[in-house]
Chain A
Amino acid sequence: MRKKEMIAMLLAGGQGSRLGVLTATKAKPAISFGGKYRIIDFPMSNCINSGVDTVGVMTQYQPLQLNQHIGIGIPWDLDRRNGGVTILAPHLRGDEGEWYTGTANAIYQNMDYIAKYNPDYVLILGGDHIYKMDYSLMLDFHKKNNCHVTIAALEVPIEEAGRFGVINTRDDSSIYEFEEKPPNPKSNLINMGIYIFDWGILREALIKDNKVHHDSDFGKHVLPMLLNEGKRMFAYPYSDYWMDVGTIESYWNCNMDLVKTLPDFNLYDDFWRIYTDDDHQPPIYTSSAADVRTSLLSEGCEVFGNVYNSVLGPEVVVEEGAVVRDSIIMERTTVGRNARLERCIVDNSCIIGENVVIGDGENIPNREKPKIYNTGITVLGEHTLIPDNVCIGKNCVLYGRTVYDDYKDSRLESGESAVHEPEGEVLF
């Protein structure tokens, strides 16, 4: 194996449980974003655009869709003979084996993979943020400051910093303290979960910490330990767009950002292309009956109805008379004639019947999961079927092949759920 200067380790095993039914069949990094993309496309594209051509992707929770999406890395030009992308799943060793129990533990379990490339530096990334970042500039910073560890640090308004892991630095950006969710933050720099380590330092630290902590974690254990040992740790300042789409509301807001005339996040940059798995990419059609305003439409969409202020994924069909407003409709979903959708998130491959109304009624939080569904957004999981002529309220959750029995007097009131786990049945 040829030596690599820096390889990336991408942590993509998390569920993202606050995204509710959207993670029923896939890990958070595999969730669609901005129409045609999936969340993991952003760090993956950042890697190849930064010249990092060796990426280990650690999967754990519901990996099927992620594995299929990444494949051998063709969309990102990561199909390489030397390097490229490798999926790293938890596995047995001898008689033993375990799940990835923490972020640092996942890397610890894959040290053999890193060692094969004998890199000088290891870049650690998460798979659940929307941002564009040139990691090669971060590496320049790392080298210039002779760091052992560099942590990307986002500048946020100081009043918001208390919700995150805060990094306190000296004037030269060297770190002297970490504080987890401090009530009175001393600095406005927060930890973005993006690290560059000298491989030797990382290896030593992982071996040491995994003897002490079973659930070895970078933020909680490894970074404070290295700081105590007096390692040179610097914060790499970053002030561009960076979004965690961890909740239903932030996911919705972040998508809606993109439909503005001049969005904060620019997808139309020729020199920092975001790549995704989209070999089959037919054109978009809007009929003479259609009215489409302030919306994003992905390849293969066919619109015969009205779409306002919405994001449509590939091959979505909106039939005549239907109105889709303030909504996110993912891949291959069909919205039937005269249906009316407002403020909802519809996952891949759903069928919404004719005259269906979604988002009607009062804003009552979901009865079973009020902490997840409480901002008036109704969510449909993957492969959900909604029969004709029913009316659905706000903060509802629907999943699977719903039937008329799920709807009392053809209504599903705000805050109610109708869930039928598909269990291997291929619906459509």
Chain B
Amino acid sequence: MKAIGVILAGGNNERLDKLTEKRASSAMPVGSCYRALDFPLSNMSNSGVGKVAVITQYNSRSLHDHASSSKWWDLGRKQGGLFIFSPYLSSHNNLWFRGTADSLYQNLTYLERSKEPYVIIASGNGVYKFDYNDLIAYHERKDAEVTIAYKLAREGEDLRHYGVLEVDGDDRVQNFEEKPLEPTSNLISMGVYVISRLQLIKLLRAVNAEGRYDLVEDVFMRYRKRIRIFGYKFNGYWRTLNSVKSYFECNMDFLNRDVRALFTKQFPFIETKPKDEPPAKYNLGAVVSDCLVGSGAILNGTANHSIMFRKVYTGENSYVNNSIIMEGCYIGNNCVVENAILDKEVVLSDGKQIRGASSEEPYIVSKGTVV
């Protein structure tokens, strides 16, 4: 493999509301048994990238917990393997990461002590399957200095929450704006870049000397005329978890057989940390229709069009509809949960009702709440 990997998993997203109170957006649970980070991490390992750094900052506990045993992604290695970087104090530095470029600059040693010609940088909260070798092959073919993967926006997507690219007929990037007030195209940056390692080191040093800290604004944007930046159009499934709405939709996408097949049936697979839960148990009263269920769940009630994570318990005569129920939730007898997101380990005692307005505005119950 010609590249090392960097996953930027430090960010928070206030548009994920209470869901990121206690976790980074890269640690968001997705599809009954995954966390967002599993997707870029598995993509790295499935593409043959043998040395990967995960850069964390905001609420990093759950990310450390999840990624620290690197075995599951085949990254428990003597050569390369998984590196997890968090901000730290030292004699000449006592600051948090001031931006994405700064987080890389503060870990420049990682880049310097590698020999691979390229670096693949990916954000930690994208849900997709991508062979990064395709990106590198394109990068080489275009003789590019930076290549940015992009995706055509879906119909009606609010572009103001994304990085938006403008490219010319040859796919060379003309403009790149983060969260533009007035978007000028419908090409969304996936937050996946390939860049030459030596070039990146040079650029990081240059922007740091100027007191600039952001990868997109201060490196790509500022240098777009001096270096050859190209866009790569990605055609597969891709979602980023940057709002409650996109989080809800992304989970519900897993009810689609093709989406499930992409991630779970077609090799290579998305891997996650095993939790060794027993099989899910459907008891006599279970009526489970169009639902995703995690292992270790025990179901006694009705569930419809919902995502239930591992170890969820639903009581007799309970009714769950159009909801996301995270790991370890307990739903008592005769409860109703509709248009809601129950964060991990929520307990609903018998007969409680949780109702949100709609898929667009689900009712969110914080982690560990007892109702």
Contacts and interface: CB of A to CB of B under 8 A. Distances in A.
B330 interface: no
A297 B282 contact: yes
A93 to B, nearest CB: 34
A182 interface: no
B276 A261 contact: no
B295 A298 contact: yes
Contacts, number: 112
Contacts of A267: 278-279
Given A74-B71, A281-B272, A283-B33, A261 B280 contact: no
B282 A295 contact: yes
A283 B294 contact: yes
Interface string B57-94: 00000000000000110000000000000000000000
A188 to B, nearest CB: 31
Interface in A315-337: 315
B284 to A, nearest CB: 5
B269 interface: yes
Interface string A297-319: 11110100001000110010000
B308 to A, nearest CB: 9
B296 A268 contact: yes
A279 B294 contact: no
Interface residues of A, number: 40
A290 B276 contact: no
Given A281-B33, A281-B272, A284-B295, A293 B286 contact: yes
Contacts of A302: 257, 260
B290 interface: yes
A404 interface: no
B272, B276, B292 pick with most chain A CB within 10 angstroms: B276
Interface residues of B, number: 38
Given A74-B71, A268-B296, A282 B280 contact: no
Given A283-B33, A292-B282, A276 B276 contact: yes
A296 B298 CA distance: 9
B199 interface: no
Contacts of A278: 274, 276
A283 B264 contact: yes
Contacts of B255: 285
A259 to B, nearest CB: 8
A279 B263 contact: no
A36 B274 contact: no
A78 to B, nearest CB: 13
**Interface SS of chain A:** loop
B77 to A, nearest CB: 14
A293 B282 contact: yes
Interface string B24-36: 0000000111000
B72 A293 contact: no
A82 interface: no
A286 B254 contact: no
Interface string A36-53: 100000000000000000
A293 B278 contact: no
B274 A296 contact: no
A283 B269 CA distance: 12
A63 interface: no
A36 B274 CA distance: 13
B271 interface: yes
A280 B254 CA distance: 17
A292 B280 CA distance: 11
Contact of A285 (B279, B284, B292, B295): B292
A280 B269 contact: yes
A296 B269 contact: no
Nearest to A298: B279
B291 interface: yes
A294 B278 contact: no
Contacts of B279: 34-36, 267, 296-299, 311-312
A300 B272 CA distance: 14
Contacts of B32: 283-284
B276 A284 contact: no
A257 to B, nearest CB: 13
B289 interface: yes
A261 B284 contact: yes
B289 A286 contact: yes
A405 B208 CA distance: 76
Contacts of B304: 288
A274 B279 CA distance: 11
A252 B338 CA distance: 39
Given A274-B278, A283-B32, A300-B265, 19 more contacts: A75-B276, A267-B279, A268-B296, A274-B276, A275-B276, A282-B260, A282-B263, A282-B264, A282-B269, A283-B294, A284-B280, A284-B294, A285-B291, A285-B292, A292-B288, A293-B282, A293-B284, A299-B279, A300-B264
Interface of B: 31-33, 71-72, 254-255, 257, 260, 263-265, 269, 271-272, 274, 276, 278-284, 286-296, 298, 304-305
15 contacts: A274-B276, A283-B33, A283-B293, A283-B294, A284-B292, A284-B295, A286-B291, A287-B290, A291-B287, A293-B286, A296-B279, A296-B281, A298-B280, A299-B33, A315-B265
